[in-house]
Each structure stands twice: as C-alpha cells, then as structure tokens.
Homo-oligomer: A and B are copies of this chain.
Amino acid sequence: MAKEIPYKIYLDESELPTQWYNLRADMENKPAPLLNPATKKPMTAEELAPVFCDELVAQELDETTPYIDIPEEIRSFYKMYRPSPLVRAYFLEKKLDTPAKIYYKFEGNNTSGSHKLNSAIAQAYYAKKQGLKGVTTETGAGQWGTALSMACSYFGLDCKVFMVKVSYEQKPFRREVMRTYGASVTPSPSEETVIGRKILAAHPGTTGSLGCAISEAVEVATSNEGYRYVLGSVLNQVLLHQSVIGLETKAALDKYDIHPDIIIGCAGGGSNLGGLIAPFMGEKLRGEADYRIIAVEPQSCPSFTRGRFAYDFCDTGMICPLAKMYTLGCDYIPAPNHAGGLRFHGMSSTLSQLYHDGYMEAVAVPQTDVFEAAEEFARVEGILPAPESSHAILQAIREAKKCRDTGEEKTIVFGLTGTGYFDMVAYEKFHDQLMENYRPTDAELQESFAKLPQI
C-alpha cells in the first residue's frame, strides 16, 4: 500500500546531501567554455583567479567530477535552515479541482527569503578559507545580496553589494536587512566606479540592470587587495551549489515513491532552475528516466524563448569573460515596470546548452498573470510568494488546469524559490491595477542582437 503523503515532507538531518551534484559531468555536449574577451580563447584558472576564489575557479572549470563533497562547515550552516520542506499543495489542488498532484520545494524559510543562501554560504566559505578580506557582488531583487550578507556575517568577511537601482528604490527595506548583517549597499549604476560613471554618462536616468551592477562589483573586487567577486547565478559553480535543492527534492520524492512527470522552475540566470532540476536532468541525460522540464521566464526578459544562442558578455560594462548562452544582448535592460528579479539578459551556459539540445522547454509569461497566480496561491497555500517564484506557480497552475481538462493525474513539481515580503510595492501596483505587461518588440531585440560580439 502506498504511504500517505504528508502536507510537508521533511528529510531527517541524516538524509541531507553530503555532496553536490555537478550536472556537466553527465552532459555529452558540455557547455561552451568562458572566453577571454581579449584573446577569445578559453579562460584559464590563472586568468580567472583575480576575479574568483581559487576553489571556486576549480569548481567553475570542472566538467568531469560528478559529485563534489560539501565541506563540513557548509553542511553545518545548511542545517540552520535546511532541509527545506517539499510541500504537497493539497489546498491548491482542491482549489483548482485538478486530478494533478502538485508539489513545491519551498526555499523561502530563511531570512534571505530565497534559495540564494545555498550558494552564498559556499562562496563565503571558500573566500574565508583563502584568507580574503571580503567579497563584492551585485544584487537584483535583493535576495542574493541579503543571502551573501548573512553568509559573510557568519564568516566575518567584509561584504560590498551593488544593488540594481530600480530594486534599491522598490525594496527600501532589503537594504536595511543587509545592514543588519553588516553589509554595505550601493545603488547601481553608481559614481563609485569607472564603469558606473561611464554607464551613467551613456544612459542618464537609467534604473540599472544586473549587467551594470556586475561590472561595478567586478571592478571593485579586482582593484582592491584581498577582495574577490562572487555571483549569485549564471555560473556553473552556483548551479553546483544549488543542486542541493534538487538532491533534497529527489530524496524526499524517492522516500514516498513519487515519480514526477513535470518539473517547473522560474529562470532568471538559472540558479534555482539549474539546482532544482540537476539530479532529474542527470537521470534524463543518462537515459534512466524521463521528465518534462519547463523553464519559466518573464515576457519582459525572454532570454530562452526569444534570445540568441551566442557568445556574449555577462555584464553591461563588457569587462567579464564571454559566455555562450541564450542572451538578449548585454546592453538589454528590461523595462523598470518589471517587478524584481529575473532581469538578467543572459542565461546559465549549462542550461542554455541543455535547452539548445532539446532536454528542456521554456515559456515566457506576462507579469500580471504572474501576480494573479501569486495571489491565488497565497490565498490557498498561505505563503505569500516572491514575484520570481510566482512565474513557476503560474506555469504549474496552467499544467494542473490542463490535467483537469484531460483528467490526467500528472505529478507536477515546482520550485517555490522564496517569499514576497519585500515585494509589497509590486503587489500594491498589482492591486491598484497600475501594473503593466512589457514585451520587447522584435525590432528592439534585433537592435540588441546586432551588438553581440563576433565570435
């Protein structure tokens, strides 16, 4: 007889992952390497060392080791807020009157409000281990900055955050949380860096982008002794750390003999999606199991669905290495009315390759539909979701409604990356019907693509 599925599946501490899973090891077509923008040749560990911590460079370049031990100090920190629950959305199923079985992996039960802490603590650990003074970074919606502040506070590292200006203004209290954890926060673009001043001169009044903020953070890291840059998404190392989400999810499902049919995650730079799907994609790559895997992105920043698969800069200032990825062009800045995260112009190289090779689907959704789904979810499941996470909720609801129409009892798993407690300005706009749906025109994208570097 099948075990009764509880509302929330919590793994025991003894069942927590002790290794991260490196998805690239199982990929036949490896993601294309990062290129040095000057030489157009693959970046070496030596070239990456001024930017990233040594151990993280090694992880970034390692495409063959399938499992990498999680250091004891990080596992200990993980126990502060992990395992995160895998929740059976009984209330949502009932509301939708669907035969589908819906589960979500909820990563919001920590003060950073999202999954970002999983990689922040790893990156801070390696920085500390290398004897560094501090790290710099960018943050969009603010979750990554908060997560890094918490991690740096734990290890006694200095933390300097460049926050995309539109988020800095829309989320005034995020800054205060970071301050509680001792970080310094600067709205980007700023006058504090060469690249910031250049961007401000070229685009006066810009509300910023992740691409700008990355350029500023990298400049500060590379021009100050004892500092390195850390990034909360896109990179292979980040997907590696975030695999803890998927590994826990898989362990919880396996415990109850549940086989998902569809796995859904929101996609900005790919950190959550890449982490959530990692072990499932691994099985798919090895031909052991099959899943429909769906990336959900905003219509205002549709890298997968309307971007080019090409080499591009990860930052607006064009000082970072080139990555081959689905990109809208490193100059692309989503409309400021787009709430919060998922604003990055590109996408993880690993996920881009997998999407290119047909291992996953992608869909772009309009913002007001996302907030409708968010509110519907909040009212029945009791969690006020982050706008980013709500992209996945929307798609899960759509798939569950299809099941209602067809009578299929599919099992849907989606990533609920975090809470929306610092997104109330966006919710207020939605309630007051002041929220707009932005979708770039083909002409706008063509103009942006024209500036892609010729590789």
Contacts and interface: CB of A to CB of B under 8 A. Distances in A.
A129 interface: no
A385 to B, nearest CB: 9
A310 B161 CA distance: 54
B176 A81 contact: no
Interface of A: 6-8, 10, 12-13, 79-81, 91, 109-111, 113, 117, 150, 153-154, 172-173, 176-177, 179-182, 375, 378-384, 419, 421-422, 424-425, 427-428, 431
Contacts of A8: 13, 79
A177 B384 contact: yes
Contact of A422 (B6, B110, B421): B421
A301 to B, nearest CB: 24
A180 B424 CA distance: 9
B6 A427 contact: no
Given A7-B80, A173-B424, A422-B421, A181 B378 contact: yes
Given A180-B427, A421-B421, 5 more contacts: A7-B80, A110-B383, A176-B428, A180-B375, A180-B384
Contacts of A173: 173, 421, 424-425
B111 A109 contact: no
A384 B111 contact: yes
Contacts of A422: 421
Contacts of A419: 111
A79 B7 contact: yes
A111 B375 CA distance: 12
B427 A176 contact: yes
A111 B378 contact: yes
A80 B382 contact: yes
Nearest to A429: B176
B176 A431 contact: yes
10 contacts: A7-B80, A80-B91, A81-B382, A109-B109, A110-B383, A117-B382, A173-B173, A176-B424, A176-B427, A176-B431
A380 B424 contact: no
Chain A interface SS verdict (over half):
helix
A154 B375 CA distance: 12
Nearest to A421: B421
Contacts of A13: 6-8
Contacts of A383: 110-111
Given A6-B12, A91-B80, A379 B153 contact: yes
A67 to B, nearest CB: 24
Nearest to A81: B382
Contact of A177 (B117, B176, B424): B424
Contacts of A109: 109
A428 B180 CA distance: 9
A10 B10 CA distance: 8
Contacts of A425: 173
A182 B427 CA distance: 13
Nearest to A78: B7
Contacts of A154: 379-380, 382
A144 to B, nearest CB: 16
A79 B379 CA distance: 15
Nearest to A150: B382
A375 B176 CA distance: 12
Contacts of A12: 6
Nearest to A109: B109
Contacts of A428: 176, 179
A8 B375 CA distance: 30
Nearest to A108: B109
Nearest to A382: B80
A110 B382 contact: yes
A449 to B, nearest CB: 39
A248 to B, nearest CB: 14
Most chain B beta-carbon neighbours within 10 Å: one of A153, A378, A424, A428: A424
A381 to B, nearest CB: 7
A424 to B, nearest CB: 4
A80 B379 contact: no
A255 to B, nearest CB: 13
